[in-house]
């Protein structure tokens, strides 16, 4: 029943989205697709080089944080990288819902790379994560570009209107109407 509702919601949302037939819009869609594929490949490479698979990257963290980063590598490799590549291929094919969906892998990558770069203790724990800073910085820049691009491509028609009760519950506050009125 829920799957039916979700597929019906996707059809309704796709009907509300503008058609990307303009050449400039198509170029943006292709750019988003390429960025998502690069993001997925970068995440997979970083996770593969991490302590979970090959151990080439050694994080400068202690036990609990190391476990958290290994789990994040597993999620990146098994879930986020394939989803990012699939969204990228869908964007290259012209699927219109890829822009709002692309926000998920982009924000995940921004958070995880920031945690990997800023979290370690560079002064007291042995490791070599700083050697891979160019890779991590590139991943951070691609994730930021994909996130901003996806945000600017997302049409307001994609966001369904909330009922007054849900708006009060979620604290929705939009510029064109006063908060909780």
40: its two tokens: 């997925």
- Domain ranges in the chain are 22-154
107: its two tokens: 């924000």
38: its two tokens: 């690069």
13: its two tokens: 């949302």
Selected from 3.40.50, 1.10.3710, 1.20.140, 2.60.40, the CATH number assigned to the domain covering 22-154 reads 1.20.140
Q: pTM for this one?
A: 0.75
Determine the pLDDT at residue 41: 97
Determine the pLDDT at residue 64: 87
DSSP characters over 127-146: --GGGGHHHHHHHHHHHHHH
**Is the Cβ–Cβ distance between 107 and 151 less than 8 Å?**
no
Q: Lowest mean pLDDT of 19-28, 52-61, 65-74, 93-102, name the range.
A: 19-28
Digit-coded pLDDT (tens) for 108-154:
999 999 988 888 888 888 888 889 999 999 999 999 999 999 998 88
Q: Which residues contact 115 (CB under 8 A, 6 or more apart)?
A: 69, 72
């Amino acid at each position: 029943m829920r799957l039916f509702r979700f597929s019906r919601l996707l059809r309704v949302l796709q009907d509300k989205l503008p058609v990307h037939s303009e050449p400039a819009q198509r170029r943006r869609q292709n750019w988003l697709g390429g960025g998502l594929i690069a993001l997925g490949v970068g995440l997979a490479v970083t996770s593969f080089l991490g302590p979970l698979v090959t151990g080439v990257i050694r994080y400068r963290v202690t036990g609990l944080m190391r476990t958290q980063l290994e789990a994040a590598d597993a999620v990146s490799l098994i879930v986020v990288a394939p989803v990012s590549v699939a969204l990228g291929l869908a964007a290259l094919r012209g699927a219109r819902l890829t822009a709002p969906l692309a926000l998920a892998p982009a924000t995940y990558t921004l958070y995880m790379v920031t945690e990997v770069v800023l979290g370690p203790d560079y002064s007291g724990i042995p490791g070599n994560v700083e050697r891979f800073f160019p890779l991590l910085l590139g991943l951070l820049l691609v994730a930021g570009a994909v996130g901003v691009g996806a945000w600017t491509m997302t049409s307001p028609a994609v966001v369904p209107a909330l009922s007054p009760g849900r708006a009060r519950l979620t604290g929705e506050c939009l510029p064109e109407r006063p908060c909780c009125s």
